[in-house]
Amino acid sequence: MDFERSVCPVLRNPHSYDPDTIDLQNDIKQREYWLTCLDQMIKKFIPKASILNPEDLQATEKAEKSYQTFHMLTEKLKDNPSLLNPLSVRTLLEFNEDNLRTNNLKDAWWIQKQKETAVAFDKFSARLRYIDSIVPFRDRWLEVIKGVLAGNVFDWGSKVVSDMLEKSPNFDLFDAMNTIQPRPWFKDDFELFVSKIETCPYKKVVIFVDNAGIDFVLGILPFARELLKLGTKVILVGNSLPALNDVTFRELKTYSIEASLQCSIFKNALNEKKLQCFENGQKGPCLDLSSLPEELCNTMLTTDCVIIEGMGRAVQTNFYATFTVDCLKLAVLKNEWLAKSLGASQFFVICDFQIATNST
């Protein structure tokens, strides 16, 4: 990740921006919970390592070594939280990804991502036809937004979701729609958002995406397609380095080309550069908007809407972030502790639309 970095140019009050929603440094209960939770999550990866990386005969050993390094840190942090500064879910997850890379597990979920993405693309055209069959503007957009939210359930970094997917390997988008909270959602600004795009479509939208597979292919791509149909330029932003089953920048480009083979709207958008892909400068599954690549920041100077998807990027980080352009945050709360800390419950929905505010 050898590039110049800058602060997101459309952040409101960038000098006081804090990417981390939860302060583990000073909140003892939160620290105890998240250190244990993340330790268990990372330990659970050990028996999966060889399955996810069948060509690597040392995958299990590498995963065990990575976990032991992480575990030693969490034990020390219980007594001395200042060892990792700042101490947050974001920095702990980045530390874990660094461990995996150090032990030569550079993209541990790559095979799983490719498999799930291929399955999703088999259903892609049918999903687009179904969305196109919905004529009323608001009904069609509700289906698209529900698709993004249901797609966001497919997160292998969530214990409840990974348990669910292991027990039900055929769990699909429609099953996920029945799993998440029905409307009205915990945070439900859908009507405000759809009224805005119906009366005044955006010129340029930047979307920070989350997971590969169903999340991206059947959730985000149909969402981007509806924006393209409105004449909006769409910038898709993925991780610079692999993290869990998140989409990387390189995969974004590959998947966008695959979408163009099945849909002329994507084909034309790529040819006319109305659909573009950028990297976010991140090495973990969260999002620090104070450390973005200069190239991305330059293109964000002319955006009029930022969309942040996923629990890691929109809730565990950036839940309280505000912008000088419109912003839509979409996520499903897949952790009961996090949900309760916000006054919600597991699988409750965040559809948080903020109208642009001027910087102070």
pLDDT per residue, tens digit, the chain (360 aa), is 788 999 999 999 999 999 999 989 999 999 999 999 999 999 999 999 999 999 999 999 999 999 999 999 999 999 999 999 999 999 999 999 999 999 999 999 999 999 999 999 999 999 999 999 999 999 999 999 999 999 999 999 999 999 999 999 999 999 999 999 999 999 999 999 999 999 999 999 999 999 999 999 999 999 999 999 999 999 999 999 999 999 999 999 999 999 999 999 999 999 999 999 999 999 999 999 999 999 999 999 999 999 999 999 999 999 999 999 999 999 999 999 999 999 999 999 999 999 996 544
Other CB atoms within a 10 A radius of the CB of residue 245 amount to: 25
d(CA 11, CA 246): 24
Map residue 193 onto helix, strand or coil.
Answer: helix
d(CA 325, CA 322): 9
Sketch the domain layout of the chain as residue ranges: 22-102, 110-354
pLDDT at 359: 43
- b/e code 251-279 from CB counts within 10 Å (16+ = b): bbeebbebbbeebebbbebbeeebbbbbb
pLDDT at 360: 41
pLDDT at 2: 83
pLDDT at 1: 77
Residue 103 CB contacts under 8 Å (≥ 6 apart), including other chains = 62, 63, 65, 66
pLDDT at 71: 98
Cis before 86? omega within 30: yes
d(CA 277, CA 51): 30
**Nearest-CA neighbor of 87 among 135, 34, 128, 134?**
34
Q: What CATH architecture is 110-354?
A: 3-Layer(aba) Sandwich (3.40)
pLDDT at 196: 97
The single residue listed with the structure tokens 């942040």 is 308
How many Cα neighbours within 13 Å face the side chain of 188? 11
Alpha carbon distances (Å) from 297 to 9, 205, 206, 247, 272: 6, 13, 11, 20, 21
Tell me the backbone φ, ψ of residue 325, rounded to 5 degrees: -125, 170
Burial class (CB within 10 angstroms; exposed 0-12, middle 13-18, buried 19+) of 82: exposed
